[in-house]
Structure 1
């Protein structure tokens, strides 16, 4: 209880994110581990932010990678972590994002006190790389969401939520130190919800639908209203976002990566030239997204 009180008191001293600043035609990258990667499958987070951005025509790219860390462990495939960071660096250099929304800490929090210094040091390195590689206009650090206690036979996540609160606090302090925006996703979601995850950690479709407006609000934006989201056009917008995300996923994370870019590229590496062929299809989906966005803006 004391730790939770201290967490809240500390957060009071940290400037809140008034509103993320988007400009027309911005490329926005979502970066993080499981909570970010799984979001592309359902489209709720991106749909909510798309509509909350008003008249801005944005292009979103999801670079989330399940199980990833600030050191790029999961992205490294068969090599050392530096290979994962190298891959991410190449992705950012190609995408040239104007805004990067970063959400790490959910996995690292399992290490508790002993892992916190290493996590923050790694986060610093990651942020340095992002700034040097892409030089985005804005970087937003998002705290990890809380875990759920689903009852027997699932574990009680109260203690883990205390660790998540601790890591959220440290991320907020890091944002303050680097003069970056901080989005308090942990507090926005809250620890009282049940039935939003598959296992206490990973949100399912209903979970993302529930947390999407909370995520948007944590970014300092006004979430779209239910009539917009539940309209036929709102449904089509989300479906098109999901379709676009699927195309982009296959573009940057092809299933046969080993043959295209890694140690078996001598067999099929010539087919890597086909990856850019996804780009026109992605562009078509984005035109449809913009058409739906414009039409939905008239729904009250």
Structure 2
């Protein structure tokens, strides 16, 4: 296994640091690992602290089970509806930086699915650029799977597939002169991150967060900062803000608000923008807590 990881190191593409500017909107885009991150706040908090004094707004557009084709985002229409939905979201948000993490789902198809996956990724990147014109797009490789022992499956073969896809998205980033964060190799053989070999636990996100910051080429906040009571409050405020944005972006009763039952309760659609000032207030609190946390040595 060690030989496998050492051989993988030889294909890492060196990452230069992601550049944030004051008042940037940062979109986190991907499948389950991104969507579930909003519940715990570790990834966003770690990235936010790494930006130091720069004010950032984060919008989590993760969607469990999603792929570069966006099909999981479809509701009752054809699969393409999901991709169109994502395009609309990006057009509305106009992010300055988009951090994209796909490949965990597609890797199950192995070598035979790689060509289709890369073609889909090309289409996704083109759509992101045309709809949002972000200053930076960052491609993040999927994280490794974890072998937890019986009765859970042995993930060694799947990690070989994930390594294949990680290498491929690294080359894709190089081709388009985009930032590449090798999350797969940075996490390496870390243990105790998941509850089922695939999905991070809260503790898993806590461990993975500084690793992702490293993969992005950024400086991790000090241990005192990350482990302080102020950081805990910052993370909790981040989670609260994420809930507000989730309710704004993916309301539970969307069928009644926008789709085929909107004739019943479509009048409530006007309430969705009422979340915007609540989100803005939450972000002011986040910024204040961030300043306090960064003041620690």
State TM-score, norm by structure 1.
Answer: 0.96
Q: Distance in 1 between matches of 2:44 and 2:205?
A: 10
Partner residue, 2:72: 74
CA contact (8 A) 2:100 2:138 kept: yes
Q: Distance in 2 between matches of 1:133 and 1:5?
A: 39
Secondary structure at 1:10's aligned position in 2? coil
CA contact (8 A) 1:7 1:166 kept: no
Report how many aligned residue pairs link the two structures. 296
Question: Where in structure 1 do 4 or more consecutive aligned residues deviate above 4 Å?
Answer: 1-7
Partner residue, 2:124: 126
Partner residue, 2:246: 249
Sort the Cα spacing of 1:4 and 1:239 in 2 relative to 1 into closer, same or farther, 3 A: closer
Secondary structure at 1:65's aligned position in 2? coil
Worse-superposed segment, 72-81 or 284-293: 72-81
Secondary structure at 1:193's aligned position in 2? coil
Q: Distance in 2 between matches of 1:189 and 1:201?
A: 13
* CA deviation after TM superposition for structure 1 residue 183, in Å: 0.3
Q: Distance in 2 between matches of 1:266 and 1:198?
A: 42
Secondary structure at 1:151's aligned position in 2? coil
Q: Could you give the per-residue CA deviations for residues 123-173 of structure 1, whole angstroms, max 9, x where no partner exists?
A: 000000000000000000000000000000000000000000000000001
Q: Could you give the per-residue CA deviations for residues 263-294 of structure 1, whole angstroms, max 9, x where no partner exists?
A: 21122112111111001110011000000111
1:139-154 equivalences under 5 Å are 139-154=137-152
Q: Distance in 2 between matches of 1:67 and 1:160?
A: 17
CA contact (8 A) 2:9 2:185 kept: no
* CA deviation after TM superposition for structure 1 residue 95, in Å: 0.6
The runs of 5 or more residues in structure 2 that have no matched partner are none
The runs of 5 or more residues in structure 1 that have no matched partner are none
Task: Please tell me the root mean square deviation across aligned C-alpha atoms, in Å.
Answer: 1.3
Secondary structure at 1:139's aligned position in 2? strand
Q: Distance in 2 between matches of 1:39 and 1:265?
A: 31
CA contact (8 A) 1:248 1:278 kept: yes
